[in-house]
Every structure is written in C-alpha cells, then in structure tokens.
A = this chain, B = another copy of it.
Amino acid sequence: MTSSVVPFGKPRGERADAARNREHLLRTAREMLAEHGAERVTMDGLAERAGLGKGTVFRRFGSRAGIFRALLDADERRFQEQVMSGPPPLGPGAGPVERLVAYGRARIAFLVDHHAVARAALDRAQPVPAGDASVTQLHLGILLRQATSLPHLNGLAIQLTAALEGPLLLYLSRPEAEEALATETVELLGDAWETLIERLAR
C-alpha cells in the first residue's frame, strides 16, 4: 500500500481551480478554528476571510456542518494514511498486537482532538455520526486475524470498533459530558484498550 491512493483533500477528477479553492477554503477554515473556536466559523465569515463569494462556499460545502465534515474528512484521510504507510507501530512493520494497541491509542487521541470539529460536523438530519468506523473495523479485523486464532472474529471486530470509538462518539451529542474528555479519560481508555488487546491475543 502506498500513500498515493488519493491525494489529500483532492477528490479524483476535481478541476484544478476548484481544487485550489477547496484547499484555500479548508486552510482558511482551519485558521479560523484555531483562532476563535468552532462556534465562530460560519459560511459568511469563511467566505469573507477567504475572499471568495458566498455562492462558492455554499456550492462547495452545502451547509455550515459541511465545512466541518470536509475538515474532518481531510484529517481522517491523513490519519488512515499514517496507518497504511506511516512509521511503525501505527503503520506497517510492527507485530499485530503492537499495532492493535498503537491503533487504539492513536484513534482515541484523534477522536478527542477532533471532538469540536466532529460535533460541529453533525447535521440534525444525521443524528449519529457515522464516522469512519468502518475503516477501524476493517483494520482491527485484519490485525486480529494476524494476532490471534480467536473464533467469531467478524463479531469481535464490530464490538471492538464500538469499544474503541463508541465512548468518544457519545460525547459528540452530549455537551455536558465534555469535561470527561480530560487527559485522564484518554489515558484511562488507552490503558483499558491495551489490556483488552493483550488478553485477546494471549
């Protein structure tokens, strides 16, 4: 597997000027996000700061949530690229147990880091964020198959995906639980994940 399957944020077939606009808008949105937080990123504000028409922003993202989905999508690609071809143990080259543990810890950190963006990416019409859990499920399934001779691996891959991503996805729609996303929670979940994987693999 190589890093060149899909160039980041540049879907195949996109015209060059459209791709440049897209990159420019995403970069501008990231700046606004870093400076003012997710609440202050709006369609109008983004268009103004990017020096592009509101129509361009609207056609590109469809809605305010669409901006955040695009940001999340670009970062997801980068994350999955690290998994597919980055350095071990997250990337190839380490043993499957070590990679399972590394994936879990990296994924927990990713979901926590992207918490504000992921919440802003939620549409009311799409109550539960589908996320890229299917990628996690696929990856966990492959590594579990290498690391263990457990029966019922398909079911286990589903359940371990939920174990890893579920606790963090739930925070997306429950702002009152946000304080639980402290560093201790990240370590708590990372340590528990490592225990889970080591027990399954031995």
A positions within 8 Å CB-CB of B = 122, 124, 126-128, 130, 150-156, 158-160, 162-167, 169-170, 172-174, 188-189, 191-196, 199-200
Contacts and interface: CB of A to CB of B under 8 A. Distances in A.
A191 to B, nearest CB: 4
A174 B128 CA distance: 8
Name A's interface SS.
helix
B200 A150 contact: no
Contacts of A199: 150, 199-200
A160 B158 contact: no
Contact of A158 (B150, B173, B192): B192
A152 B192 contact: yes
A196 B191 contact: no
B127 A188 contact: no
7 contacts: A130-B174, A152-B194, A152-B195, A154-B192, A162-B170, A163-B163, A166-B166
B173 A127 contact: yes
